[in-house]
Structure 1
Amino acid sequence: VKDICKDHGISAETITEAGDPKETICEAVEKLKIELLVMGSHSRAALQRAFLGSVSNYCVHNAKCQVLVVKKKA
């Protein structure tokens, strides 16, 4: 991914953190002053989302930056 971004003049960084994904991602956004968060979506069934929640949905509503959610091709 970093090579693809570099080829298009986009600065990208990969980090690894431990903890609850939703909270950890939003904390990293603030700590690193991220301008755009790009996330994938698993397209889980409604029942799974109700019980497990959606990391991408949480980040869309709580991250202190723009969030782009990319869905898998059908």
Structure 2
Amino acid sequence: MNAFIYFPVYLVLKSEEEYAVYYLPTDFQSPELFVPRKPLSDQAKRAGWQGFLYDLSKVPQGAFIRIV
């Protein structure tokens, strides 16, 4: 994410009765969408690794496209 190279995001939602697949194009992604998570502990296999979480509240209304 440091290079700000984005990839399309696919969001799959499933319940017992139905499912839906949504697509978020790279055009609607910004650095604010990615929130750093807590680094892994010293006991973890990849100690210190820090990923990110998606803050979907930062996605503009109507940006997700339902494809299924």
* TM-score bucket (shorter structure): under 0.3
Structure possessing the higher radius of gyration over alpha carbons: 2
Higher fraction of helix: 1
Higher fraction of strand: 2
Q: Calculate the TM-score normalised by the size of structure 1.
A: 0.24
